[in-house]
Amino acid sequence: MKLTYLKSVLLLLISSSAVAAHAQTKDSIDLFLEAKMQEEHIPGLQLAVVQHGKIVKTGNYGLANVEHNVATNAESVFNINSITKAFVGVAIMQLQEAGKLNVQDPISRYIDSLPAAWQGITLKQILTNTSGLPNITDPSEHVLGDGTEQAAWKAVQKIPMQFNPGEHFSYNQTGYVILGMIINKLSGEHFTKFIQDRQFNVAEMKQTRFGDSYDIIPHYAGAYSYLQNINGQWIKKDIQRNAYIDFPIFFRTATGILSTATEMANWIIALQNGKLLKDKASLTTLWTPGLLNNGKIGGFNSLTNGYALGWPTVTRQEHPAVGPVGGGRSAFFLYLKDDLTIIVLTNLLASNPEGFIDEIAGYYHPDMKESNGFGFSPGIKKLRIELLRQGFDKAEKIALSLKKKDPAIRFEENDINGWGYKLIGQDKKEEALAIFKLNVKLYPQSFNTYDSLGEIMEALGDRAGAIKNYSRSLELNPKNDNAVHHLKNLKA
């Protein structure tokens, strides 16, 4: 049944892909995206590319609605989830330009009767997810209490702080609910109307709106998922299902906007052209990652490794970007030095398009293509070249040889681990196995290297090997819940 279902979905994707790029002749980007959609089982996808202040390419691929075989088109509306936070960041900067607030202000200046531990937290710490606030959602990502604003607000104030403000990065929804309260108070209107008037209307975003799965939305592309939340953990299953998500109105500063790729492109153009923020210094503030108390930046992972004012950042030497992501299903990268923006919206949760946006950008800047080693550290680039030449089965021998020739060369644990997962994403599991084995050899005291090796062995059907490595990971870190979960399933 599973294979039949997946086969039917893939056939639908192939049959509907003729709508790509407005039914024009397919280019390399269209072919790349269609292959990626089949690889990730993404039903529907929209693309928009902005270069030099103009939309230079759009594309509509696959199915907006699987059940009724409705093809994605230019009017298909996608939920952009937490990309909403980027709009909130712009709204806060608009209020700063109007002299109504300063992002360095403590939130207690604008919100009364806060817990004592919250009062010194700044707007900037909230925007950059470094506040330490307790989360207003539970492990299943449902709003606390009965879902009402009053109950949720009362419940979250009883929870202790996660950490002192500025100590860590921790993705947090509570702060964005607070920002909604502040926008309501200082603008004199509800934040949904403020953002509608000051951003959607200015950028001529006629289909863009606030909403969720339970609203009736013309041309809605829907939401699909292979994930199920079981006891607070997201578990990937084999069957694609509809995902119904409820975003109460007060929560929609955290996640609540629906849009199209073309309208998102228009918004970005309006932002860059000074129609939304008048002062160029405001954009600099908006896109500068927040610093922790130790002077470092914090973010989601090695790619989106920083977080600015509602905007995740891709902080790196080559082709830095700001990269809002939403729901693991939609993302865009605005390349700060390249005058280029790539927008990808999908209707599959956990499709994680941020993982392949750089590759799309590589069609405009060839040095950004992964085949040219983009995104790898200097040491990993050298290792990769030799492995491609001599074979991944010689990974350990080659790594030791390179280090002998150049003692300064570095193979960082996280870089190797990230490479391994990229190989998995490319369906190169045997190569990934070699890379994860190398990481264990280089970092034998890291619980994470054994955890990753366990994952690839499990994926390859090596049950005994997976159990051995998950067990070793758990020995090194008894709090590794991922290993506990996988061992439970493997030993069942």
User: From CA 32, how far away is CA 48, in angstroms rounded?
Assistant: 15
Q: Is the pLDDT of residue 15 over 60?
A: no
Residue-wise pLDDT tens digits, 234-286:
677 788 899 988 899 999 999 999 999 999 999 999 999 999 999 999 999 99
Mean pLDDT, range 460-473, rounded to an integer: 96
Helix (H, G, I), strand (E, B) or coil at 86: helix
Phi, psi for residue 77 in degrees, rounded to 5: -105, 125
Residue 395 lies in a domain: yes
Measuring CA to CA, which residue among 48, 44, 76, 78 is closest to residue 62? 44
Identify which has the larger pLDDT, 167 or 232.
167
Q: Tokens 């700060």 label which residue?
A: 336
Give the integer Cα–Cα distance in Å for 359 and 336. 16
Tens of pLDDT, residues 340-399: 999 999 999 999 999 999 999 999 999 998 878 888 888 999 999 999 999 999 999 999
Question: Residue 325, SS3?
Answer: strand
What is the β-pairing status of strands 340-346 and 44-51? antiparallel
Confidence check: pLDDT of 10 > 60: no
Mean pLDDT of the chain: 92
From the CB of residue 163, how many other CB atoms can be counted at a distance below 10 Å? 13
* Cα→Cα distances 357→28, 369, 429, Å: 14, 10, 22
The sign one gets for the Cα dihedral 375, 377, 378, 381 is negative
The C-alpha atoms of residue 162 and residue 80 are separated, in whole angstroms, by 27
pLDDT at 245: 84
Biggest distance spanned by C-alpha atoms of the chain: 66
pLDDT band at 232 (very low <50, low <70, confident <90, very high): low
235: enclosing H helix or E strand: strand 233-242
* In-domain check, residue 351: no
Q: Which of 344, 304, 298 is nearest to 321 (CA)?
A: 304
The two beta strands, 224-230 and 54-65, are unpaired
What are the structure tokens assigned to 35, written together?
A: 């292959």
Q: Using N-to-C axis directions, what is the helix angle for 481-491 and 447-459, rounded to 10°?
A: 30
pLDDT in tens, 158-174: 999 999 999 999 999 99
CATH number at residue 432: 1.25.40.10
Residue-level pLDDT at 234? 67
Which of 166, 184, 165, 168 minimizes the C-alpha distance to 176? 184
Structure tokens at 369: 């293509």
Rounded mean pLDDT, 95-101: 98
| Beta carbons within 10 angstroms of residue 370's beta carbon | 15
pLDDT over 50 (residue 331): yes
The fraction of the chain above a pLDDT of 70, given in percent, is 94
Residues 6+ apart with CB under 8 A from 325: 82, 83, 300, 304, 312, 331, 352, 354
- Predicted confidence at residue 400, as pLDDT, reads 95
With a CB cutoff of 8 Å and minimum separation 6, the contacts of 255 are 81, 82, 84, 85, 173, 247, 326, 327
Domain membership flag for residue 148: no
Structural domains in the chain (count):
1
Cα(305)–Cα(276) distance, integer angstroms: 26
Domain housing 401:
376-491
φ, ψ for residue 81 (rounded to 5)?
A: 50, -125
Under 8 Å between Cβ of 376 and 384: yes
Residue 480 lies in a domain: yes
- Quick check: is 95 in a domain? no
- Between 103 and 375, the higher pLDDT residue: 103
Q: Is residue 104 part of a domain?
A: no
Query: Does residue 69 contact residue 12 with C-beta atoms inside 8 Å?
Result: yes
pLDDT exceeds cutoff 50 at 18: no
For 425-443, how does the pLDDT look when each residue is reduced to its tens digit (9 = 90+)? Answer: 778 999 999 999 999 999 9
**Are the CB atoms for 307 and 289 separated by under 8 Å?**
yes
Dihedral angle, C-alpha 300, 121, 247, 76, nearest 10 °: -50
Does residue 406 lie within any of the structural domains?
yes
User: Does residue 186 lie in a domain region?
Assistant: no
Percent of the chain with pLDDT strictly greater than 90:
84
Chain segment 113-150, per-residue pLDDT in tens: 999 999 999 999 999 999 999 999 998 888 999 889 99
Q: How far apart (Å, rounded) are the C-alpha atoms in residues 71 and 12?
A: 9
**Alpha-carbon dihedral sign for residues 366, 369, 372, 378:** positive
Tokens of 217: 């939305």
pLDDT band at 20 (very low <50, low <70, confident <90, very high): very low
